[in-house]
Structures are given as structure tokens and as C-alpha cells.
Structure 1
């Protein structure tokens, strides 16, 4: 496995996902790719769009830098990336582009004690080119994606 990809948006559940992804990367001697995605607003005035995007990008950059400071022992194996677009699509495209062996994402809420309530997480699971691990409510909940079993 070349790398483990984890989506990070600065939330507590995303931090739990990063910590789980770090453990997986260390176990498998793989690089850890941490991806943050600045979301493009669906609509708005052109004058406001630039300000909104600048705020989104600044938030993502600050979240990545604070995360980097929290993981000093693995600095050599981490790659931080920032993309702009639809989060689920960017995560799936990034995984395909870099040949990720596994994607790890965090999710706060779930339906029926099992299925992620997040639209972004459900789409990542459905479209991922590799295995996906969903970290829910600070615990690891294995899900299977159509392309492979979860380790």
C-alpha cells in the first residue's frame, strides 16, 4: 500500500479519523495523506464569493497547520493537501490519483446505530476506488465499500 488517505475538516470526529489513519499507516509502513477540502458555495453574489472562498481556504490551511503541530512524531510520513471543490468528489479523485490503499473518514452521526448520516461520507463509501474506514463517535466502525473489504 502506497498511502492511507484521510479527510480532515478540523472537527473532533475528523481528528479521531486522522489518529486512526496514522495508526493504519504506521502498521503498514505507508505514507499518510491528509486532505482538507474548501467547499465552493452553491450560489451567491460574485462580490461575496471571493470573500467566502478566502475564508474557507484560510480555515482549511489553519486546520492543517494545527494538525501538523499535533503530530510531530510522524512529520516525515505525512503529506498535507488542500483542494477546492465538492468534498466527497475531491477525496475520491485524490485517492484514485495517488493510488490510496485505504480512505479513512470521520462521521459524527449515524442512522440505526450503523450507517453514516453524512451525505459526504455515504458518497465516499459508494464511489471510493479502495477500502474505506469510517470512524464514528470516537470509535472505529467498520463498513464495507463496494470496492473492497475494510481492514
Structure 2
């Protein structure tokens, strides 16, 4: 036991990543409150705005969420009228998710959010890109 060193919070990479994720998500809250959606719901909608008609499994893979977490999110979005879930005709085990007209209207409102976040966090475009690339590099190592 003499060789063990107690881990210190200041030496951990997980802690600043946890805090920054929490704080950045918090910056989104007032903008998303105006749209009456949560941050996880916003993530789902962004994926669908890029690729309408994805399967629930595909959405889960892109967001690193299991179906037990994703299904309630989708149900709430469907109850709000932003999406519609349909079973695939060729394979009824597959559920596909489609954006409704209300979901498309939401997209127009959401287009301003990224710039508002950039304005709140006043760092250069180069720093944004470098940060994202570093995070992606770490994430790809973890996924292996």
C-alpha cells in the first residue's frame, strides 16, 4: 500500500471534461427553453435535420445512447409533434423516425443557436476547431 498515491482531482482529465460539458450544456438551456426542448432532444433533432428517416438504432449509435435512454426522448419529441415514428414495412422490428412540419419549423428557429453559443464563448475559430479535433482524437481512442 505504500506505493499507492491517492488520485488528485486536479490531475484528472475526466473532471475538466465533465465540468466543461456541464457548463456548455447549461449555456444552451435558455435558447432551448425558448424552443421547449431539452439538450438531448436537440441532439436528436440535429441528427434528423441532417438525415431524416433514420432508424432508432442508427440515432442511438450516433449519440452513443442505448434504446432504453433514447426511446423516452423520442416519445417526448413525438408527443410535442416534432417527429413521427414508423415501423419499416420491410422489417417491422425496425422503427424509423421522421421530422414533421413542426419539426421543420423548429429547425428554422434552432439555426441561430450555434452562433449564440459561439458568441457566449469568446474563443477563436481556430481554438474551436483544435478543441473539437482533440476531443475527437480522444474519443476515437476510447472507441477502439
Taking structure 2 as the reference length, the TM-score comes to 0.27
Question: Which protein has the bigger strand share?
Answer: 1
For CA contacts below 8 A with separation 6 or more, give which structure has more relative contact order.
1
> Which has the greater radius of gyration?
2
Question: Which protein has the bigger helix share?
Answer: 2
